[in-house]
């Protein structure tokens, strides 16, 4: 259930220093505006993940407007609250720190070559007893089953919050929308691993790669990556993007082992 649904909108509040008076108004369920003399100087938004987590964003002209927006959102919303920003965005970093947020996780963004001559994946063997089902050929029922199983395994260990931080608007309980976006690894009639490929214009994104706990360390993730990247290469795509939690040593080693290059870092800030 959306934890902020049906929340009554508060009345505008104003504060300022000197001649500057910043008025904050919650204009919609998920949106706040900062005004000075009827001029918009900032905007705050909140997005709700399928698991109920709230991700905040603030775009403001100056630090005072940022602070007033962040304070209003924190006052209106239940904790924990999250904000995802580029590590290089020093202004936003300082703003979320002033608002009482601390670092929850760091995510590394990779640019991944698809050419097997560069990745070395042309020689990646498929583990015995496993077959790779390429992108667009996965069946919904076994895909949903392995998705649920992997989510339960992750939640029981590090927690699903450690997975790549995406804000996707999905109906409650729905985690797989488009089976055609997945490649999977199958053992018999059951799927044991999966890769989700986001079809962004000119540069697809690997949004998730995961393998059942009892099937790990057998080369399945590498075989899945070989299938996805090889298919992209054959279709003329030179590179793909991927995001990995920096604390996930196995995923980091997998991507860096195929020549992936770090092109950015994002930080998830949390207030509890």
155-199 pLDDT per residue, tens: 777 555 555 544 344 555 666 768 889 999 999 999 999 999 986
Question: Would you say residue 270 lies in a domain?
Answer: no
The whole-number average pLDDT for the span 75-92 is 95
The Cα 124–Cα 257 span in angstroms is 12
Question: Would you say residue 271 lies in a domain?
Answer: no
Question: Would you say residue 7 lies in a domain?
Answer: no
Determine phi and psi for 69, rounding to 5 degrees: -65, -50
Domain boundary pick from 49, 73, 100: 100
Q: Say if residue 94 is in the same domain as residue 114.
A: no
pLDDT of residue 175: 66
Q: Tens of pLDDT along 226-248?
A: 999 999 999 999 999 998 989 88
Question: Would you say residue 86 lies in a domain?
Answer: yes
Question: Would you say residue 272 lies in a domain?
Answer: no
pLDDT of residue 191: 97
Query: Who contacts 117 (Cβ-Cβ below 8 Å, separation ≥6)?
Result: none
> Do the Cβ atoms of 1 and 43 come closer than 8 Å?
no
pLDDT of residue 198: 82
The whole-number average pLDDT for the span 116-121 is 94
Q: Say if residue 70 is in the same domain as residue 89.
A: yes
Question: Would you say residue 1 lies in a domain?
Answer: no
Instruction: Domain of residue 237: give its range.
Output: 108-265
Q: Give the number of other Cβ atoms within 10 Å of residue 17's Cβ.
A: 8
Query: Which CATH number goes with the domain that contains 172?
Result: 3.40.630.30
Domain boundary pick from 78, 100, 122: 100
Q: Say if residue 58 is in the same domain as residue 116.
A: no
Q: Say if residue 144 is in the same domain as residue 251.
A: yes
pTM of this structure: 0.75
pLDDT of residue 14: 57
Q: Say if residue 86 is in the same domain as residue 215.
A: no
Q: Say if residue 125 is in the same domain as residue 219.
A: yes
> Do the Cβ atoms of 190 and 143 come closer than 8 Å?
no
Least confident of 18-27, 81-90, 95-104: 18-27
Question: Would you say residue 76 lies in a domain?
Answer: yes
Q: Above 70 in pLDDT, residue 18?
A: no
Q: Tens of pLDDT along 199-218?
A: 666 679 998 899 999 999 99
Query: Which CATH number goes with the domain that contains 75?
Result: 3.40.630
pLDDT band at 219 (very low <50, low <70, confident <90, very high): very high
pLDDT band at 48 (very low <50, low <70, confident <90, very high): confident
Q: Above 70 in pLDDT, residue 10?
A: no
| Domains held by the chain: number | 2
Q: Say if residue 82 is in the same domain as residue 151.
A: no
Mean pLDDT score across all residues of the chain: 87
């Amino acid at each position: 259930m959306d934890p902020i649904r049906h929340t009554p909108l508060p009345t505008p509040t104003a504060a300022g220093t000197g001649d500057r008076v910043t008025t904050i108004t919650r204009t919609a369920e998920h949106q706040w505006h900062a005004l000075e003399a009827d001029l918009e100087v900032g905007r705050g938004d909140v997005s709700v993940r399928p698991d109920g987590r709230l991700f905040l964003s603030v775009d403001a002209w100056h630090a005072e407007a940022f602070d007033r927006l962040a304070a209003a959102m924190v006052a209106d919303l239940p904790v924990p609250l999250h904000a995802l920003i580029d590590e290089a965005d020093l202004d936003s970093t300082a703003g979320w720190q002033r608002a009482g947020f601390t670092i929850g996780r760091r995510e590394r963004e990779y640019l991944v070559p698809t050419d097997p001559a560069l990745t070395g994946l042309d020689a990646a063997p498929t583990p015995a007893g496993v077959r790779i089902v390429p992108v667009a050929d996965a069946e919904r029922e076994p895909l949903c089953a392995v998705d649920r199983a992997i989510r339960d395994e992750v939640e029981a260990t590090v927690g699903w919050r450690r997975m790549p931080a995406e804000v996707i608007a999905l109906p409650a309980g729905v985690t797989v929308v488009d089976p055609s976006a997945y490649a999977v690894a199958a053992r018999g009639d059951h799927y044991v691993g999966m890769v989700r490929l986001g079809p962004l214009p000119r540069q697809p994104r690997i949004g998730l790669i995961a393998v059942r706990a009892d099937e790990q360390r057998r080369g399945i993730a590498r075989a899945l990556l070989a299938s996805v990247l090889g298919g992209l290469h054959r279709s003329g795509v030179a590179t793909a993007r991927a995001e990995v939690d920096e604390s996930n040593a196995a995923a980091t080693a997998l991507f860096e082992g195929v020549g992936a290059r770090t092109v950015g870092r994002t930080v998830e800030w949390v207030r509890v």
